[in-house]
Amino acid sequence: MILGVLLIGVSLLSLTMGAVHIPLKETLSLLVKRILFWRNYPLENIPASIILFKIRLPRIILGIVVGAALSSAGVILQGMFRNPLVEPYTLGVSGGAAVAVCIAIISGLSKKFPQIIPLSGFSGAVGAIILVYFIASSGGRLAIPSLLLTGVIVSFFSSSLIMLLMSISGLEELHGITFWIMGNLQETNLLLILPASLILLGGVFICFLFTRDLNALSLGEEEAQHLGIETERVKKILFILASLLAGVAVSVSGIIGFVGLMTPHFIRGTIGPDHRILLPASALAGSILLVGADLGARTLLSPQELPVGVITGIIGGIIFIYIIRRRKIEFRW
């Protein structure tokens, strides 16, 4: 409940603040009019409406769903691997997406077809998922150490390809690649945001169905089997689910680091390791972090905008170091 209230508060603050300040009263009035009279309410008549509904609201929606997806994927993978260093990008999803986006930008396709970037990102992410899965699986089994090692190797290989592509790209292409890699929520096309949001929210909801399985896997595979869990089937489902969540998130927002790593850590240390509470709480906390980071990215050097991945990295690093140094929160599994 507290996290839900905080998310609403941060979202309203993000709606009002920016290069153009819109008072809270006017913001709420425009939202009510838009909801109640959406058929007979043209946006073009009021400049503030264009800012709210064409620019800021799509970014907030994207921040909420991407933050929830990355945090949920982080919770799943950390619980599944029983490793606190695992995050959604560890398994090579972001690397595969970045390679495909680099190719789309360097080839010039992104100028002719702007929507090719999210499509390329998703295709690259799916390609990386398939590659990691088939390399790591053996005899119908998905060994956790092999899966983790394969993901790390694919990530390093993708990083090398990205550096190669950046070294042969022009100045304009290099800027586009760098900005995408650092992450942003500048996508305002609702025809892309709405399907991506439905997919991500649906994936997060499906994650909630496996909270008891994650609790069992956190005890170890043998203990989970003794509790009646079909570990191989559950591991495959969770791996594909977490990877697809990360892949869709990366395709629409770029590589936004630290959300899927730091948020599960912080929530787990605060409320405990029970995934029935940890997963929804982490999803809400990830949404709060990303919406707040996007607000900072838009306002700190306004009118210049910073990549949101820079803000999440700075905030996440500071909070994580503070928690470890103060030792007020003990990380429990």
Q: Is the dihedral of CA 97, 100, 105, 111 positive or negative?
A: negative
Q: Which two tokens stand for residue 45?
A: 């008549």
Q: Which residues of 116-147 are buried (b: 16+ CB within 10 A; e: fewer)?
A: bbbbbbbbbbbbbbebbbeebbeeeebbbeeb
DSSP character at residue 52: I
The structure tokens listed for 29 are: 């009035």
Gyration radius from the chain CA atoms:
20
Assign domain 2-326 to its CATH architecture. Orthogonal Bundle (1.10)
The CA-based angle 321-324-329, given to 5 degrees, is 130
Dihedral sign of CA atoms 233, 237, 242, 243 in order:
positive
CA–CA separation, 252 vs 176, rounded Å? 15
| Residue in the structure block whose two tokens are 């939202």 | 31
CB 100 within 8 A of CB 323: no
Q: What is the DSSP letter of 45?
A: G
Contact of 258 with 317, CB cutoff 8 Å: yes
Q: 8 — phi, psi (to 5°)?
A: -65, -45
- CA 261, CA 309: separation in Å to the nearest integer? 13
DSSP secondary-structure letter at 43?
Answer: G
Residue written as token pair 């949101």: 308
Q: Of 234, 270, 256, whose CA–CA distance to 183 is shortest?
A: 256
Residue 172 has a pLDDT of: 84
Question: Residue 71's pLDDT is what?
Answer: 94
Return d(Cα 250, Cα 262) in angstroms, integer: 17
How many residues does the structure list for the chain? 333
**Which residues in the chain land under pLDDT 70?**
37-45, 323, 326-333
Q: Which residues contact 324 (CB under 8 A, 6 or more apart)?
A: none
Alpha helices in 37-143 (DSSP H): 47-50, 57-81, 93-106, 109-112, 116-136
Cα–Cα distance between 261 and 259 in angstroms, integer? Answer: 6
* pLDDT at 329 (0 to 100): 47
Which residue in 183, 162, 158 sits closest to 173, CA to CA? 162
